Amino acid sequence: MIDDKFIETFIEIAEKVSPQKNVYVYTFKFPGKYVKHHKGLVAPYGSEALDDVFKNLQSGDKVFIHWFDDRFVPYLEKIDYTIPIGLFLWGGDFLEQTPELIKYNFGSSTYKLVERRLRNSMFQKSMQPMKWLGMLKEYCTYHSRMKARYKWLFNNRKTFLSRLDCMYHWNVDDIRIIESAYGVSVKFQEFFYDLGLQKISPNLNHQPSGKNIIWLGNSATPTNNHLEALNLLSGFKRNAYQIIAPLSYGLKWYAKVISKKAIMLHGASFTGLMEFIPLVEYLKLIQQADVVIMNHHRSQAGANIFAFIYMGKKVYLNKKSSVYNLLTRNSIKVFDSESISHISFDTFIQPLEIDDRIQNSQKLYSLFSEEKRAFLLNTILN
């Protein structure tokens, strides 16, 4: 397990459906930023403690991974083939590791930003000429080094997938993307982490705030494609609105770039949330949103998207996203983010009809209820 906001609630429900049968292995320094639960065994990669975990595996045990780490692959030979290995897919651990997937995940402006950042990242301040020569060599060999890096990532994941028994996720479309990218058949079983829906009391009769609040993205990661979304919204400059973008979770350099670009395009109409906000406060804040834009091409921000839909919000997603496909396949009304540049501000900001809010909320809950989550995990662990 990595240090992430989904881990503690997973442990809580795992202990409800399979009490006192599980060993939770923390591969991070405890306590973490998000995980404070003392239930886990601290065993970082490369430690004797982690070696002991695999030595002590017995017939009938199962191994589950929360976020794939390349450092896990050498441990495969320590796990007997009779012991099943399962992966709770997060998305970023398997949908960003080949050149084809990366190009698919990014809009053109974001792709150029990421490429430029990666290629220039080797330059550091130095007064030593030899260090500058070394940095220049790294710059000139960037593409060949990245090609070798992608090949290593691909082979590592293919090795792991060939040994994997099952992948647990909430959208089979992502599994099919992975199968196509890595050329390996993957068994799928449905599961989803805590979405926080039980903490939400949706007021589906909620009237517009009057402030025209636009919620943009879920984190400071390039796969949000903020640049493209900000450009789409620039046609509304003559209108009164407020863009709120959570940027505390992810890459600091990217958060700064997006904040600077957003202020340049939208001025005081943009607010970047740079500090982590506890879940209860975060849920209160998102209740204020009138329109939501999640411009990801790959599966990402599921918990945020589903929370907004459950609240009855109007949500714009990129049609490339497997999340968009999942929701429309289940007759949940969402909108294409690419359409923003072709519609009026009044059409864009207009809330959903009350019937659509109710139906969206009910259908969403039927897909991702707490009762269903407990049932699914029970079938996996027991």
Q: What is the 3-state secondary structure (H, E, C) of 36-67?
A: CCCCCEECCCCCHHHHHHHHCCCCCCCEEEEC
Cα dihedral angle (356, 358, 359, 365), rounded to 10 degrees?
140
Q: How confident is the model at residue 132, as a pLDDT?
A: 64
Q: What is the pLDDT of residues 176-226, one digit of tens each?
A: 999 999 999 999 999 999 998 888 888 787 777 789 999 999 999 999 999
Q: How confident is the model at residue 281, as a pLDDT?
A: 82
pLDDT at 84 exceeding the cut of 90: yes
Residue burial 66-86, b: 16+ Cβ < 10 Å; e: rest: bbbeeebeeebeeeeeeeebb
Q: How confident is the model at residue 240, as a pLDDT?
A: 96
pLDDT at 238 exceeding the cut of 90: yes
State how far the Cα of 294 lies from the Cα of 343, in Å rounded to an integer. Answer: 17
Cα dihedral angle (276, 193, 101, 223), rounded to 10 degrees?
-20
Domain ranges in the chain?
7-95+153-190+373-381, 108-149, 197-364
Name the packing angle between helices 322-329 and 302-310 (round to 10°): 30
pLDDT at 124 exceeding the cut of 90: no
pLDDT at 126 exceeding the cut of 80: no
One-letter amino acid at 278 equals P
Q: How confident is the model at residue 282, as a pLDDT?
A: 80
Stretch 93-102: mean pLDDT, rounded? 95
Q: How confident is the model at residue 131, as a pLDDT?
A: 75
Q: What's the Rg (C-alpha) of the chain?
A: 22
Q: How confident is the model at residue 351, as a pLDDT?
A: 93
Which long-range contacts link 331-339 to residues 24+ away (Cβ below 8 Å)?
Answer: 331/359, 331/363, 332/359, 332/360, 332/363, 332/364, 333/359, 333/360, 334/309, 337/229, 337/232, 337/293, 337/294, 337/295, 338/232
One-letter amino acid at 1 equals M
Q: How confident is the model at residue 209, as a pLDDT?
A: 75
pLDDT at 137 exceeding the cut of 90: no
State how far the Cα of 243 lies from the Cα of 330, in Å rounded to an integer. Answer: 29
One-letter amino acid at 117 equals R
Distances (CA, A) of 332 to 42, 133, 344, 372: 42, 56, 23, 19
CB 89 within 8 A of CB 174: yes
CA 215 from centroid of its chain's CA atoms:
17
Tell whether omega for the bond before 99 is within 30 degrees of 0, i.e. cis.
no
Q: How confident is the model at residue 122, as a pLDDT?
A: 65
State how far the Cα of 244 lies from the Cα of 257, in Å rounded to an integer. Answer: 15
Q: ∠ CA(90), CA(73), CA(32), 5° rounding? A: 50
Q: How confident is the model at residue 202, as a pLDDT?
A: 80
Structure confidence at residue 154 as a pLDDT band (50, 70, 90): very high
pLDDT at 325 exceeding the cut of 70: yes
Is residue 256 packed enough to be buried (19+ CB in 10 Å), middle (13-18) or exposed (0-12)? middle
Distances (CA, A) of 59 to 14, 37, 52, 65, 164: 21, 28, 16, 18, 17
pLDDT at 173 exceeding the cut of 90: yes
Q: Between 3.40.50.2000, 3.30.365.10, 3.20.20.540, 3.40.50.300, what CATH number should domain 197-364 receive?
A: 3.40.50.2000
Q: How confident is the model at residue 314, as a pLDDT?
A: 97
pLDDT at 361 exceeding the cut of 80: yes
Please tell me whether the overall predicted TM-score, pTM, comes out greater than 0.85 for this model: yes
DSSP structure class, residue 28: S
State how far the Cα of 242 lies from the Cα of 103, in Å rounded to an integer. Answer: 30
